[in-house]
Chain A
Amino acid sequence: MSEQPETVQPVADELTRSQQSHLDRLEAESIYIMREAVAESERPVMLYSVGKDSAVMVHLASKAFAPSRLPFPLLHVDTTWKFRAMYELRNAMAERLGVELLVHQNPECVRLGINPFTHGSQVHTDMWKTQGLKQALDKYGFDLAFGGARRDEEKSRAKERVFSVRSAQHRWDPKRQRPELWSVYNVRTTMGETIRAFPLSNWTELDIWQYIRREQIPIVPLYFAAERPVVERNGTLIMVDDDRMPLEPGEEPMLKKVRFRTLGCYPLTGAVESEADTLTAIVQEMLLATTSERQGRVIDHDAAASMEAKKQEGYF
């Protein structure tokens, strides 16, 4: 978490709500959401994907409940195909925070050896992530799960509530969304329903980076540019993170200075060529960028409304 010392910050006498910076207001809102969720649920959990949004979410949670420890475990729905650097940071982070880390791997996927190369990205994502998540939530009986989704990521996210109800089968029904007014959040559920809570709803990608920079939050080094072995497939640079990746005839990994704007399963995550090896350089590159961050995700390139369909099925 933050290496920042706990300092006394004097607040100017006349500081009022609209004079607080946008990062302070986003931070305050996220903390409020987390406290409401914990106070009104029986068994909350925080989904932890090891990405930058998760890092921010966990950092905010440690602020929300200080001096107590996080009053919920972290859950990593693992696919066994994440970058090695992600597993390293995940384990280090859980140890430093002294928080309970649950790792769930869909046993059926383990048995069948589901992977993106032989089964394709859709089957891989659905079975490891969507089905895996549902299994884990049912297994531990969580009634509320925090997720790091942001409304600016994708059009159907723009309409999702901060507190979003899922049926006992984990389905999202966009027509049955509850009105959400002021900061009065409805956390009630009946008959096996569960809640997804999104404390980062109103953050943008730029906010996330600015906050990571301001708070010095540790993130996976893959976000920073470095020489890495990659191959180019269908115009996307894929990093050869381990020897499970089958190379096509004539394919030779080449060293390129690349970084990642989002992180997921390494065979499904495109790298971008970049020189940005500091947080400041990343933000600078982002501000001057001409493509949106989800472009690096192979999963979004399907039909226009693919995310909406996935979410109705129970994808986070």
Chain B
Amino acid sequence: MATDQAMIAEDIERYLELQENKGLLRFITCGSVDDGKSTLIGRLLYESHLVFEDQMAALESDSKRFGTQGADLDLALLVDGLAAEREQGITIDVAYRFFSTDVRKFIVADTPGHEQYTRNMVTGASTADVAVILVDARKGIMTQTRRHSFLVSLLGIRKVALAINKVDLVGYSQDVVQAIEDDYRSFATEIGLDEVVAIPLSALVGDNVTERSPHMQWYNGPTLMGYLETVAVDTDHARPGSLRLPVQWVNRPDHTFRGFSGQVARGAVVVGQQVRVLPGHSVSTITSVLGPSGELTRAVAGQPVTVTLADEVDVSRGDVLSSVDEPAEVADQFEATLVWMAEEELLPERQYLLKLGTKVVGAAVTRIKHKVNVNTLEHVSATTLELNDIGVCNVALDQPVAFDRYEENRDMGGFILIDRLTGNTVGAGMIRFALRRSTNVQWQSLEVTKSARAELKGQRPCVVWFTGLSGAGKSTIANLLEKRLHADGRHTTLLDGDNVRHGLNRDLGFTDADRVENVRRVAEVAHLMVETGLIVLVSFISPFQEERAMARELVEPGEFCEVFVDTPLVVAEERDVKGLYRKARRGELVNFTGIDSPYQPPESPEVHIDTTLVSPEDAAELIVVRLREMGILGR
């Protein structure tokens, strides 16, 4: 029995005292549909008395409708969640289950076993302390067993229970079980799983799940529940020497208090301790530690805190307060193992967002060294990663970040990649090591600076970025503006979408990915030209907000003037200066902005021009006024 019903009835106070101090274990179950995984989880829930009468009634009716156990209860139905999955009889996502005994509370990540669901398994494994890997005693170690074990090891899980299921169907044979265990151990050691406990059991009948089986006198090990209740999972040592505290939020209720909130990711934080603020270099001393229930003198990994520092140093979200003696590494390039999770393939050199801990930065995969065949563990060369592929890659960031190697600390070494357009999580990575290049290759420091160049021209450089639908009138206005500036003696240049596509960007088409790259290159060119001191006019459809934001971030604040040339689609289509809308409507042009490719209007442009109300000449004048307000043109 998993909970002590007698003590609950007789001495509830004492029972609750004990309950408040029990621990928490997160584990993942791996196995295919046929291995009886859902049945095993259903049995754990059932045996820990977490199935209530009304749920039992529902289970009985479901068992008759969808069950695979004839007249018997199908425990697997307790855990199959979404309606679509019930119809197909498979589990297609990660589901989290909860049960508890008197010793521990458990969170189970229940994930599907098929190869096409690698991403789900990786997701489930990312938060697990322990893995339960199921094998069918009749079949032994299969290709998928190896795949699951590899993924478990990749995500940094070291403790594994090998649940040899359906032993009732092999006559509870010790020889069969021993052969499977030997087979598994030789493979497991190779991939770094050296803490394996093999447990013969039957999820369907209940042998060795919570109760010892009467049929296997030869087995001396724990039941599965016994293992889960007692397995030790601590690898972290709570030393101040290894402190990592990623800052989540700067806490400023008023001018008298400035605290930094976050969860200790590693080690311990102690009042009086010296810390370094990474990736910068400033050093200060911890003056107070506020925990969830008041002031503390010390807090350890896993605890949420708000700390204050002795000095007015610059600290913002994404920085890591780190011990001074053993600080985290800082780099802007590293090698990582990447799991690709999106339908759209990984595009090397494409700009993604990377989130590591609480820090979000721009990132690109610069090189794919190889991908791994998850079934054979062979290395295969690759130029891209597709859904569920796992590859070893070089990743370059647009600024340095603080991190630890993933195998040292998951919170400091695990990151996700986010698509800038859709906001979706497209990949997950584990940092292997920093690439030396990044620390050795410094930015070439140039002695003739941007301001020196601009001064020679007697002006302030900037980017004036025109965005809008095809035919909105961007180039017309840009052209008028340039003539006006030129006449005033300003040094300008105009980058026009059509022209650039004939040269620099002639290798690019009109898919979303190509549009992104098109704008990225132009933004970089505009940035270089601003460095030379020029006023750069850019006239590009540039349909996506993310890319325009990226262009803005490349230059300094106050150097970017976004001009939204706002022409309703019907008006632009009616004008149709280049005849493109007609072609697009006839289906001769695909991916045409406004027709079958989206346009995301700017939310707060510096200048918003409604071309149905304002003439091109007046529009140019409006921009000049705005540039004066921004201090770019003199008054």
Within 8 A of B (CB), among A1-37: 4, 6-11, 13-28, 31-32, 35-36
Inter-chain contact B97/A158, CB cutoff 8 Å: yes
Check: B299 CB closer than 8 A to any chain A CB: yes
| Chain A residues whose C-beta falls within 8 Å of the C-beta of B591 in the assembled complex | none
Inter-chain contact B428/A11, CB cutoff 8 Å: no
Give the CA-CA distance A18 to B410 in the complex, in Å.
Answer: 15
* Residues 179-220 of chain A, each 1 if its beta carbon lies under 8 Å from chain B, else 0: 111111010111101000000011010110010011000000
Inter-chain contact B423/A182, CB cutoff 8 Å: no
Check: A68 CB closer than 8 A to any chain B CB: yes
The stretch from B121-129, B516-524, B555-563, B623-631 touching chain A is B121-129
Give the CA-CA distance A269 to B25 in the complex, in Å.
Answer: 35
Check: A65 CB closer than 8 A to any chain B CB: yes
Inter-chain contact B248/A36, CB cutoff 8 Å: yes
Inter-chain contact B123/A181, CB cutoff 8 Å: yes
Check: B96 CB closer than 8 A to any chain A CB: yes
Inter-chain contact B236/A17, CB cutoff 8 Å: yes
Pick the contact of B16: A17, A31, A202, A210 (CB < 8 A).
A210
Give the CA-CA distance A193 to B424 in the complex, in Å.
Answer: 12
Q: What is the distance, in angstroms, from B18's C-beta to the closest C-beta of chain A?
A: 11
Check: A86 CB closer than 8 A to any chain B CB: no
Give the CA-CA distance A25 to B82 in the complex, in Å.
Answer: 28
Check: B313 CB closer than 8 A to any chain A CB: no
| Chain B residues whose C-beta falls within 8 Å of the C-beta of A151 in the assembled complex | 96, 98
Within 8 A of B (CB), among A141-196: 151-152, 155-156, 158-159, 165, 174, 177-184, 186, 188-191, 193
Give the CA-CA distance A100 to B22 in the complex, in Å.
Answer: 37
Q: What is the distance, in angstroms, from A73's C-beta to the closest C-beta of chain B?
A: 17
Check: A64 CB closer than 8 A to any chain B CB: yes
Pick the contact of A22: B24, B238, B360 (CB < 8 A).
B24
Residue of A at shortest CB range from B19?
A: A210
Check: B353 CB closer than 8 A to any chain A CB: yes
Question: A308 and B298 in contact (CB under 8 A), knowing A16-B237, A292-B55?
Answer: no
Inter-chain contact A159/B123, CB cutoff 8 Å: no
| Chain A residues whose C-beta falls within 8 Å of the C-beta of B123 in the assembled complex | 179-181
Pick the contact of B411: A65, A183, A191 (CB < 8 A).
A183
Check: A112 CB closer than 8 A to any chain B CB: no
Give the CA-CA distance A21 to B292 in the complex, in Å.
Answer: 14
Question: A28 and B301 in contact (CB under 8 A), knowing A66-B306, A68-B253?
Answer: no
Pick the contact of A295: B54, B317, B358 (CB < 8 A).
B54
Question: A11 and B299 in contact (CB under 8 A), knowing A179-B425, A184-B415, A188-B418?
Answer: yes
Check: B21 CB closer than 8 A to any chain A CB: yes
Check: A63 CB closer than 8 A to any chain B CB: yes
Give the CA-CA distance A23 to B13 in the complex, in Å.
Answer: 17
> Which among A8, A10, A18, A295 has the greatest number of chain B C-beta atoms within 10 A?
A18
Inter-chain contact A288/B5, CB cutoff 8 Å: yes
Inter-chain contact B238/A308, CB cutoff 8 Å: no
| Chain A residues whose C-beta falls within 8 Å of the C-beta of B248 in the assembled complex | 32, 35-36, 39
The stretch from B100-108, B468-476, B483-491, B566-574 touching chain A is B100-108
Question: A13 and B298 in contact (CB under 8 A), knowing A181-B123, A287-B3?
Answer: yes
Pick the contact of A288: B9, B300, B358 (CB < 8 A).
B9
Inter-chain contact A213/B295, CB cutoff 8 Å: no
Pick the contact of A304: B24, B83, B353, B418 (CB < 8 A).
B83
Residue of A at shortest CB range from B357?
A: A184
Q: What is the distance, in angstroms, from B483's C-beta to the closest C-beta of chain A?
A: 36
> Which among B8, B54, B304 has the greatest number of chain A C-beta atoms within 10 A?
B304
Inter-chain contact B291/A280, CB cutoff 8 Å: no
| Chain B residues whose C-beta falls within 8 Å of the C-beta of A21 in the assembled complex | 20-24
Q: What is the distance, in angstroms, from A186's C-beta to the closest C-beta of chain B?
A: 5
| Chain A residues whose C-beta falls within 8 Å of the C-beta of B120 in the assembled complex | 179
Check: B633 CB closer than 8 A to any chain A CB: no
Give the CA-CA distance A133 to B238 in the complex, in Å.
Answer: 44
Inter-chain contact A28/B303, CB cutoff 8 Å: yes
| Chain A residues whose C-beta falls within 8 Å of the C-beta of B298 in the assembled complex | 11, 13
| Chain B residues whose C-beta falls within 8 Å of the C-beta of A283 in the assembled complex | 12, 16
| Chain B residues whose C-beta falls within 8 Å of the C-beta of A214 in the assembled complex | 20
Check: B296 CB closer than 8 A to any chain A CB: yes
Give the CA-CA distance A146 to B597 in the complex, in Å.
Answer: 33
Inter-chain contact A280/B96, CB cutoff 8 Å: no
Q: What is the distance, in angstroms, from B446's C-beta to the closest C-beta of chain A?
A: 35
Check: B414 CB closer than 8 A to any chain A CB: yes
Inter-chain contact A67/B253, CB cutoff 8 Å: yes
Inter-chain contact A63/B292, CB cutoff 8 Å: yes
Residue of A at shortest CB range from B85?
A: A159
Question: A159 and B81 in contact (CB under 8 A), knowing A11-B300, A15-B300, A17-B236?
Answer: yes
Check: B232 CB closer than 8 A to any chain A CB: yes
Inter-chain contact B100/A204, CB cutoff 8 Å: yes
| Chain A residues whose C-beta falls within 8 Å of the C-beta of B58 in the assembled complex | 304
Within 8 A of A (CB), among B7-63: 8-9, 12-13, 15-16, 19-25, 52-55, 58, 62
Inter-chain contact B238/A190, CB cutoff 8 Å: no
Q: What is the distance, in angstroms, from B15's C-beta to the closest C-beta of chain A?
A: 8
Residue of B at shortest CB range from A2?
A: B293
Within 8 A of B (CB), among A73-103: none
Within 8 A of A (CB), among B285-333: 290-304, 306, 317
* Residues 117-145 of chain B, each 1 if its beta carbon lies under 8 Å from chain A, else 0: 00110110011010000000000000000
Check: A118 CB closer than 8 A to any chain B CB: no
Within 8 A of B (CB), among A258-316: 280-281, 283-284, 287-292, 295, 304-305, 308
Residue of A at shortest CB range from B107?
A: A202
| Chain B residues whose C-beta falls within 8 Å of the C-beta of A10 in the assembled complex | 296-297
Give the CA-CA distance A66 to B120 in the complex, in Å.
Answer: 36
Residue of B at shortest CB range from A181?
A: B126
Check: A119 CB closer than 8 A to any chain B CB: no
* Residues 246-279 of chain B, each 1 if its beta carbon lies under 8 Å from chain A, else 0: 0011011100010101110000000000000000
Inter-chain contact A35/B249, CB cutoff 8 Å: yes
Q: What is the distance, in angstroms, from A141's C-beta to the closest C-beta of chain B?
A: 12
Check: B600 CB closer than 8 A to any chain A CB: yes
Question: A64 and B261 in contact (CB under 8 A), knowing A22-B105, A32-B304?
Answer: yes
Residue of B at shortest CB range from A175?
A: B84
Pick the contact of B304: A16, A17, A31, A284 (CB < 8 A).
A31
Give the CA-CA distance A178 to B417 in the complex, in Å.
Answer: 11
Give the CA-CA distance A39 to B249 in the complex, in Å.
Answer: 6
Residue of B at shortest CB range from A292?
A: B52
| Chain B residues whose C-beta falls within 8 Å of the C-beta of A19 in the assembled complex | 23, 234
Inter-chain contact B22/A22, CB cutoff 8 Å: yes
| Chain A residues whose C-beta falls within 8 Å of the C-beta of B251 in the assembled complex | 65, 67-68
A sample of 29 cross-chain residue pairs with beta-carbon separation below 8 angstroms, ordered by A number, consists of A11-B297, A13-B238, A18-B25, A18-B233, A20-B303, A21-B21, A22-B23, A27-B304, A31-B304, A32-B304, A35-B304, A36-B248, A39-B317, A64-B304, A158-B95, A159-B81, A159-B96, A174-B93, A177-B93, A179-B341, A181-B123, A184-B416, A202-B96, A210-B19, A210-B20, A281-B12, A288-B5, A288-B8, A305-B86
A: which residues have CB within 8 A of B?
A: 4, 6-11, 13-28, 31-32, 35-36, 38-40, 63-69, 151-152, 155-156, 158-159, 165, 174, 177-184, 186, 188-191, 193, 201-202, 204, 206-207, 210, 213-214, 280-281, 283-284, 287-292, 295, 304-305, 308
Can you name 4 extra interface pairs (CB under 8 A) apart from A18-B129, A183-B263? A63-B304, A158-B95, A159-B96, A178-B424
Considering the complex of A and B, which 4 residue pairs feature the smallest CB-CB distances, nearest first?
A188-B423, A305-B83, A17-B302, A22-B24
